[in-house]
């Protein structure tokens, strides 16, 4: 963690309040930073810090490499999962464009809660990339000049089926594994849509079942705008919380929107880098 960053008190969307650097439900005081500074590869976990940096280097595109002319979009299924996704790491807080050459209100920050903005590319035009954003409302996108980003790729994609309460991981278009998942209830659903891995987060201590790490996603709860005064309600993927049998062997609707996994299943996601697409279907 950065020594200069003040820890903020957050309330996890599925648990009690804890003081950590950042959590699933993020305090309004820890929002995206501004300023034209080059993004660094950081992670809040000591061991995953080096691992996450290695993941980003491993999937970086060679210098001068442009993304493909078309990037598959739309909810993935077993028959349509692409073999890879182009990622754009934002180099500095950049002007936001509604379309190539046409400015829109706002900016695209280089960091989101002090983590690099590594965003999936969903379309391209000569000299431009269109990316997904981590901000509300869900589904937000922006165009950026390709000079404002560096490019990489991820072979991974996570697909969460809220109807069948299953999570699946794909690598290069091939199913790696699937596992039962605890998803949101009818009252507090896991929102369907197209999202991505924002960053890994250290679980609050004492660890009451959150597992070895928490994956913070770009998804926000549609039913909860402000969880316990934190200023947001961000969907995460983490351990089972409480009794592991609540997830069982077939999954269940048991959370406030987050995705709960058995620890062994969560550990299978340890090598998935930031920017990896997450499709919530069903």
User: Is the predicted pLDDT of residue 67 greater than 50, yes or no?
Assistant: no
User: Is the predicted pLDDT of residue 64 greater than 90, yes or no?
Assistant: no
User: Is the predicted pLDDT of residue 219 greater than 70, yes or no?
Assistant: yes
User: Is the predicted pLDDT of residue 142 greater than 50, yes or no?
Assistant: yes
Evaluate whether 46-154 and 156-281 have a shared fold: no
What pLDDT shows up at residue 228?
67
Higher pLDDT, 229 or 124: 124
Question: Which residue shows structure tokens 């993020």?
Answer: 26
How much of the chain exceeds pLDDT 70, in percent? 70
Cα angle 136, 154, 262; round to 5: 75
Class of domain 46-154: mainly beta
Q: Which of 34-43, 53-62, 121-130, 218-227 has the lowest mean pLDDT?
A: 34-43
| Tokens, residue 275 | 């920017």
What pLDDT shows up at residue 83?
95
As a three-state string, the secondary structure of 39-77 is CCCCCCCHHHHHHHHHHHHHCECCCCCCCCCCCCCCCCC
Helix, strand or coil, per DSSP, at residue 264? helix
What pLDDT shows up at residue 170?
98
Cα 123 to the chain's mean position, in Å?
Answer: 19
Architecture of the domain delimited by 156-281: Beta Barrel (2.40)
User: Is the predicted pLDDT of residue 94 greater than 80, yes or no?
Assistant: yes
Helix, strand or coil, per DSSP, at residue 2? coil
Residues 237, 110: Cα–Cα separation, whole Å: 23
| Tokens, residue 84 | 């890879």
What pLDDT shows up at residue 80?
82
Q: Which helix (H) or strand (E) holds 17?
A: strand 17-20
What pLDDT shows up at residue 23?
35
What pLDDT shows up at residue 1?
28
Pairing between β-strand 277-281 and β-strand 156-161 as defined by DSSP bridges: parallel
Give the mean pLDDT of 154-167.
Answer: 98
Question: Which residue shows structure tokens 């660890």?
Answer: 207
What pLDDT shows up at residue 3?
29
User: Is the predicted pLDDT of residue 275 greater than 50, yes or no?
Assistant: yes
Query: What is the pLDDT confidence band of residue 225, given thresholds at 50, 70 and 90?
Result: confident
| Tokens, residue 207 | 């660890």
Please give the model's pTM, rounded to 2 decimal places: 0.78
User: Is the predicted pLDDT of residue 184 greater than 50, yes or no?
Assistant: yes
User: Is the predicted pLDDT of residue 113 greater than 80, yes or no?
Assistant: yes
What pLDDT shows up at residue 79?
58
Higher pLDDT, 47 or 215: 215
Domain residue spans in the chain? 46-154, 156-281
């Amino acid at each position: 963690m950065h020594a200069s960053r003040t820890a903020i008190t957050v309330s996890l969307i599925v648990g009690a309040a804890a003081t950590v650097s950042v959590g699933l439900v993020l305090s309004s005081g820890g929002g995206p930073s501004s300023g034209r500074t080059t993004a660094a590869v950081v992670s809040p976990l000591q061991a995953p810090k080096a691992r996450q940096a290695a993941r980003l280097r491993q999937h970086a595109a060679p210098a001068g490499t442009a993304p493909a002319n078309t990037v598959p979009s739309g909810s993935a299924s077993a028959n349509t999962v692409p073999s890879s996704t182009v990622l754009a790491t934002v180099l500095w807080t950049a002007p936001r464009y509604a379309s190539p050459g046409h400015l829109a209100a706002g900016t695209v920050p280089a960091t989101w809660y002090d983590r690099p903005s590594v965003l999936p590319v969903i379309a391209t035009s000569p000299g431009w990339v269109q990316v997904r954003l981590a901000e509300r409302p869900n589904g937000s996108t922006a165009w950026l000049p390709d000079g404002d980003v560096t490019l990489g790729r991820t072979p991974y994609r996570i697909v969460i089926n809220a109807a069948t309460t299953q999570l699946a991981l794909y690598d290069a278009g091939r199913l790696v594994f699937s596992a039962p998942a605890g998803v949101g209830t009818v009252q507090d659903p896991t929102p369907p849509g197209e999202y991505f891995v924002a960053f890994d987060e250290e679980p609050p201590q004492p660890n009451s079942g959150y597992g070895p790490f928490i994956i913070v996603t770009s998804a926000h709860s549609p039913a909860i705008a402000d969880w316990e005064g934190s200023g947001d309600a961000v969907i995460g993927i983490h351990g089972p919380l409480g009794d592991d049998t609540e997830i069982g062997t077939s999954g269940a609707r048991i959370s406030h929107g987050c995705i709960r996994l058995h620890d062994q299943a969560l550990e299978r996601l340890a090598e998935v880098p930031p920017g990896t697409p997450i499709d919530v279907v069903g």
